[in-house]
């Protein structure tokens, strides 16, 4: 396990304390781990959920709609 000394400003420390309290963590290390896990799921490339893959495979076989003027069809200027 890696240990790190982290310097936080007052605002960042408050946010960390809010996360710690909201999720009932015992220490700030658990709160930081939670934030990293959330970042990993939301921002980094998550695996595609099986239901999404199934939906896209189904849509792949649907017929396409032909549009002569894309902007007009979707009400764009």
What does the pLDDT look like over 24-54, one tens digit per residue?
A: 999 999 999 999 998 887 777 667 788 888 8
**Residues with Cβ < 8 Å from 32, sequence gap 6 or more?**
6, 16
Q: What is the pTM of this model?
A: 0.56
Specify the DSSP class assigned to residue 24.
Answer: T
**Of 40, 18, 43, 41, nearest in space to 31 by CA:** 18
Phi then psi for residue 40, to 5 deg, are -60, -45
So what's the pLDDT on residue 46? Answer: 64
């Amino acid at each position: 396990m890696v240990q790190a000394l982290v310097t936080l400003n007052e605002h960042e420390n408050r946010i960390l304390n809010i996360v710690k309290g909201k999720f009932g963590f015992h220490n700030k290390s658990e709160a930081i781990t939670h934030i990293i896990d959330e970042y990993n799921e939301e921002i980094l490339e998550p695996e595609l959920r099986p239901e999404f893959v199934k939906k896209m495979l189904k849509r792949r076989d649907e017929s396409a709609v032909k549009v002569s003027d894309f902007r007009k069809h979707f009400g764009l200027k």
